[in-house]
């Protein structure tokens, strides 16, 4: 499996693992929420029951039970009909509810929950020795008292059964037993906020852990990709350097074989030819060595002590020397009259030769060099009409060993060290270098150097 596939696989499995972890964590948090909810509900139910069975409510309950008893006496004596009962309870409710609301506000502080509470009559049953079977006076849901009138999502908390006899209310009436069932309902309006707020610490901690794990994953994968890049660059470099040495070595081989033929009547012309081949290839190999050894420099160990004010003529000279070896390329040079560059002459030549060499190598036949004088710095610009550099590579071309033609060593030769070295020199002088241009149409290298 290729490295790229491995990394993709790793990323996919990381994402899947994260998703699974998120699901598990979500499940736990949901469970905790449910548990908190259950706990809060039982607490509130208990509290309401306590309120119901103590003090004030006792009086209130006695009051409406007495009214119910009186009504049953009227009812069993045919002085009232069953449809009048809800009317009676409604009237009672209207007078009881405000008292009740006040009372609940005072008593029912369950950890800041906004509790609404209602009590309903759900069943009234009358029994008596002269009745064949129990008479259901009322069955349904009649509001008895409440601190909330439009309660939508109320939950039933508990039920109470009240038993009395008509003789408890009035001594000289026919004895009927009656039972009233009441149901208590409650709801908590700020319910979700409260529970979520209680769980805030847990939630935040979960989010934090999650972010941490994602961060770690991201960091590891990024590291892995960097490692792979470095490994690729190394392989490329070895391929390139092998290729770079192969050509001069082959040429030297031919030249030496030629010189060995000396006794078989080697012509003067062939002799000189071979010598110049040896000379050229030797030079070329030396240049390669310099490049490779320059690869380990950093701006701190480039000696800038020999910097001097160089004028336009100096640049013109370097360009002219370069032009001699490339007669097919036209190089124009323009400069502000007063423009100077503060740099070591040798370094300036290295920079310009590298940039010009690259321009030709990567397809240019017209090059414009310009020198511009700004207030605190000098801008040296090399513009070519070569193949240009893609936007995404514009930062990377200054990195050590970076080449756009990766692996494909045969189109153009190079080790990917030239621009790296140029950048090191520019940085050593406190300057900056950048490349712009248009892919397919040319590049513009701009160097900004501070004036001394």
Tokens of 398: 């200054």
Binding residues among 417-446 for ligand ADP as defined by CB under 6 A: 417-420, 443
Number of residues that bind ligand ADP (CB under 6 A): 22
- Work out whether 416 is an interface residue with ligand ADP (CB under 6 A): yes
Nearer CB in complex with ligand ADP: 418/431: 418
- Work out whether 331 is an interface residue with ligand ADP (CB under 6 A): no
- In the shown chain, the binding pattern of residues 1 to 20 toward ligand ADP, with x for contact by CB under 6 A and - for none, equals --------------------
Q: How far is the CB of 353 from ligand ADP (least distance, A)?
A: 11
Gyration radius of the chain's alpha carbons: 48
Distance CA(169)–CA(105), nearest Å, equals: 32
Nearer CB in complex with ligand ADP: 82/234: 234
Q: How far is the CB of 230 from ligand ADP (least distance, A)?
A: 17
The only residue of 142, 415, 428, 448 in contact with ligand ADP, by rule CB under 6 A: 415
User: What is the SS3 string spanning the chain?
Assistant: CCHHHHHHHHHHHHHHHHHHHHHHHHHHHHHHHHHHHHHHHHHHHHHHHHHHCCCHHHHHHHHHHHHHHHHHHHHHCCCCCCCHHHHHHHHHHHHHHHHHHHHHHHHCCCCCCCEEEEEEEEEEEEECCCCCCCEEEEEEEEEEEECCCCCCCCEEEEEEEEEEEHHHHCCCCCCCEEEEEEEEEEEECCHHHHHHHHCHHHHHHHHHHHHHHHHHHHHHHHHHHHHHHHHHHHHHHHHHHHHHHHHHHHHHHHHHHHHHHHHHCCCHHHHHHHHHHHHHHHHHHHHHHHHHHHCCCCHHHCCCCCCEEEEHHHHHHHHHHHHHHCCCCEEEEEECCCCEEEECHHHHHHHHHHHHHHHHHCCCCEEEEEEEECCCEEEEEEEECCCCCCHHHCCHHHCCCCCCCCCCCCCCCCCCCHHHHHHHHHHHCCCEEEEEEECCCEEEEEEEEECC
- Work out whether 383 is an interface residue with ligand ADP (CB under 6 A): no
Q: Near ligand ADP by CB under 6 A, which window of 103-111, 190-198, 329-337, 385-393?
A: 385-393
Judging by DSSP bridges, how do beta strands 135-146 and 377-384 pair with one another? unpaired
Q: Near ligand ADP by CB under 6 A, which window of 53-61, 127-135, 318-326, 355-363?
A: 355-363
Q: Near ligand ADP by CB under 6 A, which window of 224-232, 248-256, 295-303, 382-390?
A: 382-390
- Work out whether 362 is an interface residue with ligand ADP (CB under 6 A): yes
Q: Near ligand ADP by CB under 6 A, which window of 19-27, 134-142, 195-203, 414-422?
A: 414-422
- For ligand ADP, the nearest residue by Cβ is 414
Nearer CB in complex with ligand ADP: 65/397: 397
Q: How far is the CB of 314 from ligand ADP (least distance, A)?
A: 22
- Work out whether 409 is an interface residue with ligand ADP (CB under 6 A): no
Q: How far is the CB of 442 from ligand ADP (least distance, A)?
A: 7
| Angle at the Cα of 227 from the Cα atoms of 226 and 233, rounded to 5 degrees | 90
Q: How far is the CB of 247 from ligand ADP (least distance, A)?
A: 14
The only residue of 397, 425, 433, 448 in contact with ligand ADP, by rule CB under 6 A: 397
- Work out whether 350 is an interface residue with ligand ADP (CB under 6 A): no
The only residue of 281, 343, 384, 433 in contact with ligand ADP, by rule CB under 6 A: 384
Distance CA(357)–CA(317), nearest Å, equals: 16
Distance CA(362)–CA(371), nearest Å, equals: 22
Q: How far is the CB of 226 from ligand ADP (least distance, A)?
A: 19
The only residue of 117, 386, 409, 449 in contact with ligand ADP, by rule CB under 6 A: 386
Q: How far is the CB of 384 from ligand ADP (least distance, A)?
A: 5
Nearer CB in complex with ligand ADP: 42/235: 235
Distance CA(137)–CA(81), nearest Å, equals: 9
- Work out whether 414 is an interface residue with ligand ADP (CB under 6 A): yes
The only residue of 61, 110, 387, 433 in contact with ligand ADP, by rule CB under 6 A: 387
Q: How far is the CB of 427 from ligand ADP (least distance, A)?
A: 15
Q: Which residues are at the interface with ligand ADP (CB under 6 A)? A: 358-359, 361-362, 384, 386-389, 397, 402-405, 414-420, 443
């Amino acid at each position: 499996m290729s490295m790229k596939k491995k990394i993709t696989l790793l990323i996919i499995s990381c994402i899947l693992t994260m998703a699974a972890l998120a699901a598990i964590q979500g499940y736990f948090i949901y469970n905790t929420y449910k548990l908190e909810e259950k706990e809060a509900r039982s607490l509130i139910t208990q509290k309401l029951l306590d309120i119901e069975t103590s003090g004030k409510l006792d009086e209130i309950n006695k009051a409406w039970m007495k009214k119910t008893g009186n009504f049953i006496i009227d009812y069993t004596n045919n002085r009232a009909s069953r449809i009048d009962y809800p009317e009676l309870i409604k009237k009672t409710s209207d007078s009881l509810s405000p008292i009740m609301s006040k009372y609940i506000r005072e008593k029912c502080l369950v950890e800041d929950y906004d509790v609404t509470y209602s009590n309903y009559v759900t069943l009234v049953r009358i029994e008596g020795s002269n009745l064949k079977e129990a008479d259901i006076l009322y069955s349904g849901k009649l509001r008895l008292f409440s601190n909330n009138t439009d309660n939508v999502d109320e939950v039933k908390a508990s039920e109470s059964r009240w038993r009395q006899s008509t003789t408890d209310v009035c001594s000289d009436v026919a004895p009927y037993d009656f039972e009233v069932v009441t149901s208590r309902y409650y709801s908590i309006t700020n319910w979700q906020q409260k529970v979520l707020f209680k769980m805030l610490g847990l939630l935040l901690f979960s989010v934090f852990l999650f972010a941490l794990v994602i961060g770690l994953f991201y960091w590891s994968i990024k590291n892995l990709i960097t490692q792979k890049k470095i490994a690729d660059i190394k392989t490329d470099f070895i391929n390139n350097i092998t290729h770079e040495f192969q050509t001069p070595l082959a040429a030297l081989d031919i030249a030496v074989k030629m010189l060995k033929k000396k006794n078989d009547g080697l012509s003067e012309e062939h002799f000189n030819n071979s010598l110049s081949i040896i000379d050229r290839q030797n030079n070329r190999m030396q240049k390669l060595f310099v490049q490779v050894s320059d690869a380990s420099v950093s701006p701190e160990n480039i000696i800038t002590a020999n910097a001097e004010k160089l004028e336009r003529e100096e640049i013109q000279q370097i360009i002219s020397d370069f032009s001699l070896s490339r007669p097919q390329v036209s190089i124009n040079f323009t400069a502000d009259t007063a423009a100077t560059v503060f740099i070591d002459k040798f370094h300036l030549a290295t920079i310009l030769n590298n940039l010009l060499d690259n321009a030709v190598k990567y397809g240019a036949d017209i090059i414009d060099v310009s020198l511009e004088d700004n207030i605190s710095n000098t801008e040296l610009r090399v513009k070519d009409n070569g193949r240009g550099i893609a936007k995404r590579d514009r930062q990377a071309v200054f990195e050590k060993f970076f080449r756009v033609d990766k692996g494909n060593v045969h189109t153009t030769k190079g080790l990917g060290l030239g621009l790296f070295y140029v950048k090191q020199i520019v940085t050593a002088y406190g300057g900056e270098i950048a490349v712009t241009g248009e892919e397919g149409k040319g590049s513009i290298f701009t160097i900004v150097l501070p004036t001394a």
